[in-house]
Each structure stands twice: as structure tokens, then as C-alpha cells.
Structure 1
Amino acid sequence: MPEYQSGFGNGFETEALSGALPIGRNSPQKVAYGLYAEQLSGSPFTAPRASNERSWLYRIRPSVLHTGRFTKVDSGLWRSAPDTAFHAPIGPMRWSPVPLPETPQSLIGGLHTITTAGDVATQNGMASHLYLITKSMEDEYLYNADGEMLFVPQQGNVRFWTEFGIIDAEPGEIVVIPRGVKMRVELLDGPARGYVCENYGGSFTLPERGPIGANCLANPRDFLTPVAAYEDRDDVESTLYVKWGGELWRTELRHSPLDVVAWHGNYAPYKYDLRRFSPVGPLLFDHADPSIYTALTSPSETPGTANVDFVLFPDRWAVAENTFRPPWYHLNIMSEFMGLIYGVYDAKPQGFVPGGFSLHNSMTPHGPDTEAFAQASTVELKPTKLEGTMAFMFETRYPQRVTEYAAHLGELQQNYADCWSGLEKRFTPDHP
């Protein structure tokens, strides 16, 4: 079983062989075990200490040996922003779960882009993808130079073999792979499906709690980073894929690039169990902003305005008095890609099922469907626990463009807007 270190953004240190980590220095003249010292930087060298991200890796071969002749390859259905080749009609959109393919498909061919936002070249914005995987990556490796990747498993357990160690994840957990970190993705118990947020902007971090104070929401101790583990494989034919500049490139290797024997620093992959999120909410009346469910945020240069937020809706109590408890009807400057991992989302009890997803773009009105409105408007208001549910959002300040692939999926619910058709005129000017 993989082992982990606890904490968020810590200065970790770990070694798979005793004595592999240098003591008191980063780059000694000779590294133990004949290893090479190499720094991986996730921020500019001169970034302030609080936001400076870097790790030192002690590896069997330096990464310069991975820079052979790169050739551009077909990126399949993996797209990057700006993707302006197709213009979907504006309006709310929702999809049923996309079935897993019957043919063998690893992560390399299994990433299917649904929306893109911003511009990958300026390191602003994001893209939302599905992953549909029916086989493990065998002698295949990948790193993304365009952005970090937040994986949200929905079906099937997945193993992430990374340069920093091994991470296992199941539905109800997320895994974040930073920009530039090499990995191989394996299946543990059959085909897997899930969602991916490819974040072009600043690294995900914990949001400020403000008046909430020191506790609740996503607590740092619940984030897990792997301990060092390495592959020492020679004379194997392997392929390293690199996502760079919105394109997919590859080069051939004769060894595994996952050969880091020891490392230390604060730039590393991690996982988080969404069921450990400690929600806060209204205790007397009214509905708090959904920002109280933000687990991770990628900040922008504008305070309080996220490049992208990762927001989740877990089990929780609803107790507000004289209040319409589901999310209200609204138009939002942010755009929202939403997925359902399991259970029922309280504002959309019909038609939104696990594995499905929806898009409510910037300034596109949305809110509870007719059934949810009728129920919430008439139900006896007593403490109610929402159980067995886990929905999430990738929310960004940029409009999200729907890809041609997503717009022509058979799972696109053409009559989605009909869920509000029963909201009849209720105005009674003579009777308050």
C-alpha cells in the first residue's frame, strides 16, 4: 500500500534509500548512491517566500536525458484554450454520463475535453475534461507543462505512479498533479471514469477562511503527499508524452523517468478525501454564498476573483428557518462546470445523475428545477440531513467554450431547459 505524508504545502522530505537525501545542502559535489540533484520549480525563482514553490529531486538520471527528439502527435480529443473552432449556442447545458469505451484506452487517449477557458499561452484559465480509461499506461509516461491537473475519480480506483511516489485514489477523493510532474496512471480494479480540471493559472491553494477563522472547510492535515518511490528500469522501450503549448508531444526513452530516489520541498503531488471537508453554513436564515464550499482555489491577480475554484457539495445539515434552502436562482459573473460523483444534488433531483455534468456559463441564468422549487417552497422546515451525496464545481472567471466533441455527444440533454418549464407565473398583486 502507498504511504503518505500529511499536510498542505509543507516542506516535505522523504527518501526511499537511507542516506539518499543530502543533509544541510541541496546540491553537493557528489550525491549519495551516484544520484543526480535536480530542482523542479513551480513558481518563478523570485516569488515571495509564501508563494515560492520548488522541490529538489535526487534521481538516477537527470531529466535532460528525457529531452531527445520530440515529435508532435495527435492529441485526440484533448483540447486547450482558446479553442475557437466551434461555437455552441449559449444557454445552460447538461450531459448524461458518457459510457466507457469498449476498446483499450489509456489516459493518453482517454482525455476528452468538454470546455476550455482563458488562454493556455498566457497561463490564465482552465479546461474541463472527462477521463475514460479502460487500460493502464504501459511503458507510457506523461507530464503537463501547460498546467496542473486536478483529477476527480467518479468510477473505478486509480493509481498515480509519479516521480514523487505513488498515490491511490477512489471515488470521493481527488488527486492534484502539479505542472511538470511526470506520471503513469494505472487501473486497480477495472475501467475508470472521472473528471479533470486542467488549471493553466497559479497553483491550487487553500482559500482564505476570513471570519470563519482557523478551522473547518478543507483542513491542511487531511492532504496527503506520497513518500519517495522509484523505478530503476533499463533497456525498456518507453514513451514520454509532454503536453506543451496546447499540443501533445512525445519522445522515446530506454528507461523509466520515474527514477527519483529521494526528494524534499513543497512542490509535489497530493490527494485529498472530499469526505473530510468540514462544511459551514447558515444556522438561522437565508442561504450562504456557495463560496463557503470552496476546497481549493487558483488565485488571480484580482483579489477575491479566482482563476478557478474547486467547490464541493458534500453531506451536510440544512437547518435554516423560513428559508428557501436550495441554491437560489441567479446569474453569475463566474462560469460553472458541475459534476456529480455520487448521490443526488438537491437542486436537480431529476436528470442529473452520477457521472453526468453540466455547464452554466457566465451570466447564464440557472437554479433549482421545477420539482426542487415545489418541494423547497412547501416542505415543513425541520432539520434535514443531505446524505450520500457529492457534487462539485470547477468555477472560473472566464467564459467556458464548449468543444465540438462535447456539443455533439449523444449524451447532451437537448431538453435540459425544460426542467424549468413548470415554473408558472405565481404573481398575486392583491394577496401578499
Structure 2
Amino acid sequence: MGLAYMPGFGNDFETESLPGALPQGQNSPQRAPYGLYAEQLSGSPFTAPRGTNERSWLYRIRPSVRHTSRFKSMSAPYWKSAPNVDDGDLPIGQLRWDPTPMPNEATTFVHGIRTMTTAGDVHTQVGMASHVYAFNTAMEDDYFFNADGEMLVVPQEGTLDLFTELGRMAVAPGEIAIIPRGMMVQVGLTDGPCRGYICENYGAKFTLPDRGPIGANCLANPRDFKTPVAAYEDKEKPCRVQVKWGGRFYETEIDHSPLDVVAWHGNYTPYKYDLSTFSPVGAILFDHPDPSIFTVLTAPSGEEGTANVDFVIFPPRWMVAENTFRPPWYHRNIMSEFMGLIKGQYDAKEKGFVPGGMSLHNMMLPHGPDAFGFEKASTAKLEPVKLDETMAFMFETRYPQHVTSYAAESQTLQDDYLDCWTGLKKRFDGTPEGNWD
């Protein structure tokens, strides 16, 4: 398996797995090389501006329209879509979960997905859903595509083998992958059971955020995003295609593998990114900056500066600010924050928030460091300190995230999460110094 550098979003790529399989000079010749079929996969309206128009031309052994049975309904009861506001009766509040257990029975990727929150409306293509996945069995003759949104996949345990129509990607913990809306994928595993997180983005696709005053460098750089090279599967045996469409699930029978694209070119592609290549920026004198400086990808909404979804990470970094409370401050926010931890500790919650766990702080609900974190940061010697061996992330959206019944009733829900702030005692005593005894 090889990966090609991604020089910039919006640029075309071309790759072939057989010499001469990719037509030159035109997209749909009367007879494509090797007897292949030309097929276009569009990720934007045909009339979208050039800078946002996305499509790829696929040269495949059989066109994807060919299947041997009508679509029929399929059950995926734990995968929910917005609007899903009446799924449970858990009151609003700050919430946290322990890691989702690995399944005991044979479970594939699609059936191992559990929806934690939904936001917006899948039918009008706004908002998102937060999922956790845990599975232990590869999809052998099953293939899946999501017509409702693109999927940002964040592995936490185990390396994923993502075999897409446009090629194959191995995605390990510490990396992320984007599977575009409508892109066929077969998910396998390479080193045991897998667990992680998914942001299902119903709205405008993820892209790099503008850097503004930061300038031309730092944060996520386009060169570090990688797309797969062409790889095909010439398999003739009964297979199934599973589809998520309009919040429901369907499947159909085919007599071959749909991963039969021998060559392709275009800019509508899956890709992966190594989070360790993110170049963080931060305060080098005083104060703790907003978490937006850690944005890796953003999916814009119709309102400038207000995201449909932001994907934010909290990576290893140096803390050097003087006379400053260095962890995130206490705050209330118009955005709704779903957090996960890939490895290590999160500096604002060193206890109770463990790798594989999750938390939800919805719009305008207060949150911030626990009592232990506040005490430690308030009394620490302020010398340069490196936060190392850590990687937390956040799916942040402008819409309220509604908790599913699965999440509300899960045995991993921490009933005592609110207790982490109980020790924040009164320190006001009328003196400028306050009471720190």
C-alpha cells in the first residue's frame, strides 16, 4: 500500500493500478482502457464554484449501478440520526462516560457503531452525530456507504484497514481518516479488536480552517494529508452493499466486489492525517488562548465564523505562560462540545476521564477543570512544562447535542461526574489575596 501526498484541498489527483488504465485528455472516452467503465462520483452540485466543486472520475470493472436484487431494509438499531430529540428522557447536564466495552460476540464495523449524541437534521443536511465504535470482525463480503454525511473516524484502540473505492488506508490510533459521503468502504482490522470515535457530518464537508493572523504556517498543513493510491478487488462471488440513507439502513445483493476501481482522478477522495504532524500555537507570555487555535478541520455553516462542526485536538505541547491559570478556564459557550481521549491524560481532568472515555458539555452549560485540576494549576510553580503522551479531541458544533437512549442508559455513564467540582470551595474573604488555606 502506498499513499500520495495531498498538496492542497481542491486540487486534482490521479492514480492507476495498471499502466495506461487512466484515460488521458478526456474523462469518458468511447471505450475506456482495459474494457473499464467510466463513472463520476460527485460530492458537490454540478454548478458549485470551481473552488468548492468536487468530483472524481472512477474507471471500474463494473458500474456501481449493477446489482442483483432490490434494496431492502436493514437493521442497525444503535445507529441514530438527527432529529432524535425524544429518544430518551435524561435531563440536561454535564455528562461523562467510561470507555465502551469491546463486544463479546462477532461484530463488524457497521453493527459496532453506537450513537451517543445527535444534532441538527440529517434530512436538511445540517448538524452532526457523535458515535463510538467497537468491533472485532472484518467485513469480508459486506461493503458500506453513507449517503447522509461524511465520516471522520478517530481510532483509539486497534488499527483500521479502510479499503475504499479509491484505494486502501491503514489508520492507527493517533491518526484520523475521512470517508466522504457516498464513498464505498470495507472496514477490516489488522491487530485485534478496534475501538474509536466517529463524527458523522451531515453538513458542508470538512476543510482546513483559515489561519487568519497566524499566517502561512502552523496548525494542520495540507502536505500532511494523504490520499490512497488506486487498488482494486476483482472478486466474483455473492456480496452485499449496505447503505445509510435518510437516517435509515438498506442493503442489496451484488455478485462481485464493488471495490473494483482500477484507476481514478479527481478531488473527491478519502484521506488520512497523522495528528502528530499538527503544529500547535499558543500563548508565550500570559493568558490561555481560546481552544479554536487547536482546530484541525472545520465544516462551515452558512454563518461566517460559526462552524457546523469543528474537529479540535489537544496534543502534546509546551506550557510557558507567566502568571496564568494554564488549563482551560471555566466557561459557558454557545457551541456544544463532545470530547474523547485517545491516550494519556487531559490536563483539565486528570482523574475520571480515561482513554476511550467521552464527555458532553452542551451549549451554555458551565464546565471547566475539576477541583483537583484547579488546585494543582493554581499552586503550581510556573516554569516551562511540557504536556506529553496526551491526545484529547473535541467534536464541537453550533447545534445542541441530544443524548440518545443508548448513551443515557449505558452502564458506562458516570453517575458521579458532577462530584468532580464539589471541592471548588469559597476562597473569597474580602482580602485581595483570598483564602488559600
TM over 0.5, shorter chain? yes
Distance 1:5 1:293 in 2: 23
Secondary structure of 1:407's match?
Answer: helix
Give distance in 1, aligned partners of 2:310 and 2:291: 11
Give the match for residue 123 of structure 2: 121
* Deviation digits for residues 184-239 of structure 1 (CA, Å, limit 9, x no counterpart): 000101100000000000110000000000111000000110000001111x1111
Check 1:425–1:67 CA distance in 2 against 1; reply closer, same or farther (3 A cut).
farther
1:28 offset after TM fit, Å?
Answer: 0.9
Count of paired positions? 431
> Which residue is 1:347 aligned to?
348
Question: Is 1:327 aligned with 2:328?
Answer: yes
SS across alignment from 2:51: helix
- Say whether the 8 Å CA contact 2:161–2:169 is kept in structure 1: yes
Which residue, out of 154, 157, 164, partners 1:155?
157
Map 1:104-253 → 2, pairs under 5 A: 104-234=106-236, 236-253=237-254
Q: How many angstroms apart in 2 are the aligned matches of 1:80 and 1:86?
A: 14
TM-score for the superposition, normalised by structure 2: 0.97
Question: 2-side partners of 1:288 and 1:53: how far apart?
Answer: 35
Contact (CA 8 Å) 1:2, 1:168: kept in 2 or not? no
Match of 1:61 in 2: 62
Distance 1:414 1:58, change over 3 A: same
Deviation at 1:64, TM superposition (A): 1.1
Match of 1:4 in 2: 4
> Residue deviations 1:42-75, cap 9 Å, x none?
1111111111111111111111114840011112
**Percent identity between the two aligned chains:** 65
Distance 2:160 2:24 in 1: 35
The change in CA–CA distance for 1:67 and 1:122 in structure 2 (over 3 A counts) is farther
Residue identity matched to 1:6: M
Contact 1:66 1:257 in 2 (8 A): no
What TM-score do the two structures reach when normalised by structure 1? 0.98
Decide whether the 8 Å contact of 1:307 with 1:396 is kept in 2. yes
Residues 68 and 255, structure 2, Cα contact 8 Å, conserved in 1: no
3-state SS, counterpart of residue 123 of structure 2: helix
Superposed CA deviations along residues 278-303 of structure 1, whole A, max 9, x for unmatched, are: 00000100111100000000000100
Q: State the one-letter code of the partner of 1:314.
A: P
Shift of residue 86, structure 1, vs aligned partner = 1.8
Assess if the C-alpha contact under 8 Å between 1:155 and 1:193 holds in 2. yes
Amino acid at match of 1:209: R
CA displacement, residues 109-154 of structure 1 (integer Å, 9 cap, x when unaligned):
1010000000000000000101111100010000000000010000
The amino acid of 1:306's aligned partner reads A
SS at match of 1:221: helix
| Contact kept? 1:233, 1:256, Cα under 8 Å | yes
Contact 2:18 2:262 in 1 (8 A): yes
Counterpart of 2:3 in structure 1: which amino acid?
Answer: E
Match of 2:406 in 1: 405
Whole-angstrom CA distance in 1 between matches of 2:8 and 2:366: 36
Deviations 1:332-387 (A, max 9, x none): 00000000000000000000000001000011100000000001101010000000
Amino acid at match of 2:57: W
User: Take 1:45 and 1:93, find their aligned partners in 2: how far apart are those partners?
Assistant: 42
User: Once the 2 structures are TM-superposed, how far is the Cα of residue 78 of structure 1 from its aligned partner?
Assistant: 0.5
Structure 2 unaligned spans of 5+: none
**Is this contact kept in 2: 1:230–1:261, CA < 8 A?**
yes
